[in-house]
Structure 1
Amino acid sequence: MKLVRFGEVGQEKPGLIDDDGNLRDISSFVSDITPEFLAGDLFDQLKDASATTFPAVEGTPPMAVPVSHVGKFVCVGLNYADHAREAGLPVPEEPILFMKATSAVQGANDVVKLPIGHSKADWEVELGIIIGKPAKNVAVGESHHHIAGLCVINDLSERAFQMERGGQWVKGKSCDTFGPVGPWLVTMDEIGDPHDLDIWLELNGERVQNSNTDQMIFKIEELVSYISQFMSLQPGDIISTGTPPGVAAGMETPRWLQNGDEMRLGIEKLGVQHQRVEEESGA
């Protein structure tokens, strides 16, 4: 399944994308795509339902975050072998973890706002894991039972806030609008091998990131298991699994995000995002 939430902020409805790419309204089946829904029996029942039994949605409504009430946003740093080579850094022995504030979360195509005082805003296309069932100290081989699906994430960063202002990375990762998620939550049965998907990002029509998830150092099952050793993972939590090379910070002459830029990014089988960049009011 490709699950979505669509509509204006505060008026989101649950939906799915059928085999022909049409948006279907499933609000007659479930009121919203909530963490409780992902953890419950209705989620499994929906997999067996025929998409064509639900009404098609006319037009192109906004795509919201595909799960409501995200509880935690856990991120993994330096998790692509080709990115490590670009950065001239050794491959980590264990996953590098940091947190991103959930107030950064927004829909896949919403406007990205550059925060007041920005100077080094950057992009990062990433594969996201959406947790479906509680996970604590789970074995690698059992991790797949706790995953509701995968998605596209743009883990935007303000590098000056992140690297030059002291403390932890969270300051540069958590600006409002710096966490577009979606457009879809894609269940694992639709994906095949999640570690063989093309992943890319274009800035103003130029492809700057272009890789494959086969470059991931720590695979999704390893990450769920590893993170669950340090904190319980709950339905609706999101794990962002790292970015390939091609970010501004890796360029010989960095090209930081500016007002008017446009980003288009995607992962094979998981959909495409598109964001326009604007200055935050008052900047």
Structure 2
Amino acid sequence: MRIARFAIDESVSFGVVEENTIAAVRAHPFGELTFTGHRFPLADVRLLAPILPSKVIAIGKNYADHAREMGAEPPAEPVLFSKPSTAVIGPGEAVAYPEKLSERVDYEGELAVVIGRLCREVPAARAADVILGYTCANDVTARDLQQRDGQWTRAKGFDTFCPLGPWIETELDPSDVALTTRVNGETRQDARTSQLLHSIPDLVAYVSQVMTLLPGDVILTGTPAGVGPLDIGDEVTVTVEGVGDLTNRVVARE
């Protein structure tokens, strides 16, 4: 099932995408879905970020080849950092390049996990019970600020630096799916989730030992090798096999 969040006629709803239409549901997508009876052509709605999380928890250096391209050895434990909820945007929305503050902004394509229920201290064997589904993500990063600051909050936290979408796929087996990132149609990242150093169940267990996860919270599972800079005017697309495409254009920050 593909659960999307969409806007039409000034109203915002969740809905289930079925071929070329979207069927609206009442309230939120957590728990049993209740349909309103309204159905719209997908071409007539504007897809939004599929969820507005209370927090985005990201995993650094979770592909060995990416850790090494950043000049580090693969970590023994997951490396956690966070992105503010205000960084989240949806498909088709613009990534704002903060030219006055950064001279190097990178793409980082990732598979994102969307939590479906309140949970803490989840055993890895039960991680699937608390996951609503999966979506595409771009962990946009001001690389020069990351290197300058020695920690990642500013570099990862700009408004628009966390595109998510186009929807949440609830029936995906995420253990071995293709992940690609293209810039202006050229493939820059090409990997499979089977290459993750720390699996999705292990990540859910690890993060939930630290903090309570709420419905809609997002875990970014890490980016593979091939990260690189974006320029104003670029179009970047993150594709996750079995989920879809997340496309955003880069514009100058006003």
Task: For residue 61 of structure 1, report the CA deviation from its aligned partner.
Answer: 2.5
Mapped contact 1:259–1:279 kept (Cα < 8 A): yes
In 2: Cα distance, 1:9 partner to 1:56 partner = 11
| 1:164 aligned residue | 148
| 1:177 aligned residue | 160
SS of residue paired to 2:147: helix
In 2: Cα distance, 1:9 partner to 1:237 partner = 27
Letter aligned with residue 130 of structure 2: H
Pair 241,263 (structure 1): closer, same or farther in 2 beyond 3 Å:
same
Task: For residue 89 of structure 1, report the CA deviation from its aligned partner.
Answer: 2.5
* Aligned residue pairs, count: 253
Q: Deviations over 1:90-149 (max 9, x none)?
A: 221100000101100010221111013220100000010111112211111111111111
Matched, 1:245 2:225: yes
Matched, 1:275 2:232: no
Trace 1:131-146 onto structure 2 (pairs within 5 A): 131-146=115-130
SS of residue paired to 2:39: coil
In 2: Cα distance, 1:223 partner to 1:195 partner = 13
Matched, 1:108 2:91: yes
SS of residue paired to 1:229: helix
Mapped contact 2:88–2:161 kept (Cα < 8 A): yes
SS of residue paired to 1:277: strand
Task: For residue 60 of structure 1, report the CA deviation from its aligned partner.
Answer: 4.3
Q: How well do the aligned residues superpose, as a CA RMSD in angstroms?
A: 2.0
Task: For residue 165 of structure 1, report the CA deviation from its aligned partner.
Answer: 2.9
Task: For residue 8 of structure 1, report the CA deviation from its aligned partner.
Answer: 6.3
In 1: Cα distance, 2:186 partner to 2:42 partner = 32
In 1: Cα distance, 2:115 partner to 2:55 partner = 10
Trace 1:173-252 onto structure 2 (pairs within 5 A): 173-187=156-170, 190-192=171-173, 194-248=174-228
SS of residue paired to 1:56: strand
Mapped contact 1:199–1:267 kept (Cα < 8 A): yes
Q: Which runs of 5+ in 1 are unaligned?
A: 249-255
Task: For residue 12 of structure 1, report the CA deviation from its aligned partner.
Answer: 1.8
Task: For residue 7 of structure 1, report the CA deviation from its aligned partner.
Answer: 1.6
Q: Which runs of 5+ in 2 are unaligned?
A: none
SS of residue paired to 2:136: strand
| 1:14 aligned residue | 14
In 1: Cα distance, 2:112 partner to 2:222 partner = 9
| 1:258 aligned residue | 231
In 2: Cα distance, 1:259 partner to 1:85 partner = 28
TM-score normalised by L of structure 1: 0.84
SS of residue paired to 1:143: helix
Mapped contact 2:178–2:192 kept (Cα < 8 A): yes
1:25 to 20, 23, 26: 23
Pair 262,58 (structure 1): closer, same or farther in 2 beyond 3 Å:
closer
Mapped contact 1:137–1:229 kept (Cα < 8 A): yes
Task: For residue 182 of structure 1, report the CA deviation from its aligned partner.
Answer: 0.9
TM-score normalised by L of structure 2: 0.93
1:87 to 70, 82, 91: 70
Q: Deviations over 1:146-184 (max 9, x none)?
A: 111111001100012222034x20110011111111111
Letter aligned with residue 279 of structure 1: A
Letter aligned with residue 191 of structure 1: L
SS of residue paired to 2:41: coil
In 2: Cα distance, 1:198 partner to 1:4 partner = 21
Letter aligned with residue 252 of structure 2: E
Task: For residue 9 of structure 1, report the CA deviation from its aligned partner.
Answer: 10
